[in-house]
Structure 1
Amino acid sequence: MTQLNLPAEQPIMKEHIENELTTFIAAEQQGPAVLISAGVHGDEYEPMVAAAELAATLPGILTRGQVTVVTVVNPDAYGHGTRQGSDGLDLARICPGSLNGSISEAYAARISSLIEQADYYVDMHTGGLTYEIHPLAGYMLHPDESILDIQRQMARCFCVPVIWGTDYRPEGRTLSVARDANVPAVYLEFGGGTGFRRPVVDTYVDGVINLLRFLGMVDGKVSRSPEPYWLEDHRPDSGYLQGKMPSPADGILMTEVALGETVRAGQCFGRIFDPVSGASHSVYADVAGIVFLKRAIVKVKSGDALGGHFAHY
């Protein structure tokens, strides 16, 4: 991999400015501008806690550059505890949005503007209430090789077991805004379902601080995990989670695999049972790979994504 070339430095005055949603932290020394976001979806809670903890921690340790932390990108969706806002729109599908549009479109425009002003971007997620996800760091397979290489290095800083590069062509995402602005960007996925998972918060907080060490913005040695499972999948919509393993029928999902488990081609992933009709349908892994996605809501309808597993294509 090539060496990281930091952007041109701008003088920064030491300050700490915040409101209820966004915290801006600047060190005395000039350096890169990093944007960290959580709450693109209103039912992904651990990233919001991680963002709040980073906003509280970074003023005491940031030695160079500036960090902007958005704790809740779409407070309307958070208020309803749903993936979408009250307008029914998924903010992660409508970027760059419009300040004159609906409420989600306006919030999409605000985060898109912050992305375009950043030098590096990290978007933190979980599987929400619907899915559970094995810890991973992902990025778009940017057509600019120099940006793609930086994204690979950024992803490695989070010390998660899976790194996933996917199709760069989807539109409407926070990462597509970063792609178009040539801002190196990664996203994080870990956890989901009901209940609060402290390891998600700790992984994200530690990972962001480690990334800032890598960028020379926080003192200390950069950590590296053992060699992760690393997959780059150039197929169209390869990163579209909601399209993975569609259910063949309505019913109750009973999965037979665990997150992180390596499955064989043809192994049973789970079974759909309809208690009304008595019908049962089994779902099988089409290729060998690591299970990274499982549906957490057991009641499913035909076409719902049941889960997914990685494989080398």
Structure 2
Amino acid sequence: MHKEITIFNETILPGESKTINMQIGKLHTMTDLHIPIIVERSKKEGPVVLLSAGLHGDEINGTEIVRELIVRKINKPKCGTIICIPVINIFGFVNQTREFPDGRDLNRIFPGSKTGSLASQFAYYILKEIVPHLDYAVDFHAGGARRFNAPQIRIVPNNEELKILSDVFGAPFTLYSNNISGSFRSSCDKMGVKMLLFEGGKSVDINNEVTKEAVEGTKRFLSHLKMLQPKHSVSERHKTIYIEKSDWIRANYSGMFHGLKSIGSFVEKGELVATISDPFGKVSHKLKAPQTGYLINVNDAPVVYQGDAVFHISSQLEE
């Protein structure tokens, strides 16, 4: 039961809407940076859900997803409470970089410290002020290093409740993925919060199809929790493909990269997936699939070096 929610000394009662400005640090110009925390509460009792993005400042597609949920008023719950944080790493968002100004990856530094680095302080206050109120969370991410992720949910293996929620969300793919030490997901899990991690698109980019998949999945997720307002229609979900294991296909040569397969493609072992050429028109090398599987991450960089990860391919599907 959640009668009263207090975040950074601001109390939000049932039926209230409030935007709380989280301010921990400043720019080097002494300019304040505020992180809006948008809280919408129904008068009717129900779960507390966090919809968050921007742990990595350059993963703009996640921010666009949460923005869209707010604009369409999907974040106004029929019951319970929905908390939206469209941008957590506001410093990285301003600079369009993954890390904090101190060079640290916020998603590897949880649970943080009140007196630690700037990133560590952010992690500490998120866990202290927001996570204790939560029952569920969906955290939105995008691929890094110019690699495009197929829309997918990531959950820990052997957790039946998360599997049910992933089925409900209905992304094209679900990857079983263990929690990473120092990650937001790992800390939420330890604090009893049931989190789905969404991946889709690539850094410093907005993709409308990825955004649509995430918004529709979130509506299905909220509908399952009986939190979605009746005015929002719910589309039919995908029968998500569960992937237990996956591998990286790496460039066998350095050169100009020409990918031949689209994201989400199913390829057979030995099938041609890309060519890598020199810039002078003399040499072209073939890159073939080492195994049969789905391509869930595709390289978008025009130039690669030998050993670069260029495709992520499933190696074992759940029966």
TM bin (shorter chain) = 0.7 to 0.9
Aligned twin of 1:151: 162
Displacement of 1:81 in angstroms is 0.7
Q: What are the ranges of 5 or more consecutive residues in structure 2 without an aligned counterpart?
A: 5-13, 22-34
Aligned twin of 2:92: 77
Residue 31 of structure 1 aligns to a residue in which SS?
A: coil
Aligned twin of 1:17: 18
Aligned twin of 1:199: 209
- Aligned equivalents of 1:41, 1:111: Cα separation in 2: 15
Aligned twin of 1:307: 311
Among candidates 47, 56, 59, match of residue 44 of structure 1: 59
Query: How many aligned residue pairs are there?
Result: 291
The residue identity in structure 2 corresponding to 1:285 is: A
Q: CA RMSD in A?
A: 2.7
The one-character-per-residue Cα deviations of 1:207-247 (angstroms, maximum 9, x if unpaired) are 222211111222448654242212234xxxx6xxxx83333
Asked if the contact 2:59–2:141 (Cα under 8 Å) also holds between the matched residues in 1, the reply is yes
- Aligned equivalents of 1:108, 1:309: Cα separation in 2: 32
Displacement of 1:278 in angstroms is 6.2
Aligned twin of 1:289: 293
Asked if the contact 2:96–2:204 (Cα under 8 Å) also holds between the matched residues in 1, the reply is no
Q: Which segments of structure 1 move beyond 6 Å, counting only runs of 4 or more?
A: 276-279
The alpha-carbon distance between structure 1 residues 306 and 110, as it changes in their structure 2 partners (threshold 3 A), is farther
Normalised TM-score (structure 1): 0.82
- Aligned equivalents of 1:186, 1:59: Cα separation in 2: 18
Aligned twin of 2:188: 178
Pair 1:65-2:80 in alignment: yes
Among candidates 244, 247, 253, match of residue 248 of structure 2: 244
The residue identity in structure 2 corresponding to 1:196 is: I
The alpha-carbon distance between structure 1 residues 195 and 122, as it changes in their structure 2 partners (threshold 3 A), is closer
The alpha-carbon distance between structure 1 residues 310 and 52, as it changes in their structure 2 partners (threshold 3 A), is same
Pair 1:272-2:276 in alignment: yes
Normalised TM-score (structure 2): 0.81
- Aligned equivalents of 2:118, 2:111: Cα separation in 1: 13
Aligned twin of 1:3: none
Aligned twin of 1:6: none
Asked if the contact 1:76–1:103 (Cα under 8 Å) also holds between the matched residues in 2, the reply is no
Residue 209 of structure 1 aligns to a residue in which SS?
A: helix
Asked if the contact 2:266–2:295 (Cα under 8 Å) also holds between the matched residues in 1, the reply is yes
Identical aligned pairs, as a percentage? 25
The one-character-per-residue Cα deviations of 1:148-178 (angstroms, maximum 9, x if unpaired) are 222112222333211222234x212221112
Q: Pick the structure with more strand per residue.
A: 2
The one-character-per-residue Cα deviations of 1:78-109 (angstroms, maximum 9, x if unpaired) are 11112222222222222222332323223333
Residue 80 of structure 2 aligns to a residue in which SS?
A: strand
Residue 311 of structure 1 aligns to a residue in which SS?
A: strand
Pair 1:95-2:110 in alignment: yes
Residue 306 of structure 1 aligns to a residue in which SS?
A: strand
- Aligned equivalents of 2:75, 2:294: Cα separation in 1: 39
The alpha-carbon distance between structure 1 residues 10 and 156, as it changes in their structure 2 partners (threshold 3 A), is same
Asked if the contact 1:25–1:58 (Cα under 8 Å) also holds between the matched residues in 2, the reply is no
- Aligned equivalents of 2:248, 2:120: Cα separation in 1: 26
Pair 1:138-2:154 in alignment: yes
Displacement of 1:67 in angstroms is 1.2
- Aligned equivalents of 1:129, 1:209: Cα separation in 2: 30
Displacement of 1:130 in angstroms is 1.2
Aligned twin of 1:119: 135
Q: What are the ranges of 5 or more consecutive residues in structure 1 without an aligned counterpart?
A: 1-8
The alpha-carbon distance between structure 1 residues 246 and 213, as it changes in their structure 2 partners (threshold 3 A), is same
- Aligned equivalents of 1:262, 1:59: Cα separation in 2: 34
Asked if the contact 1:115–1:121 (Cα under 8 Å) also holds between the matched residues in 2, the reply is no
- Structure of higher CA gyration radius: 2
Asked if the contact 1:140–1:175 (Cα under 8 Å) also holds between the matched residues in 2, the reply is no
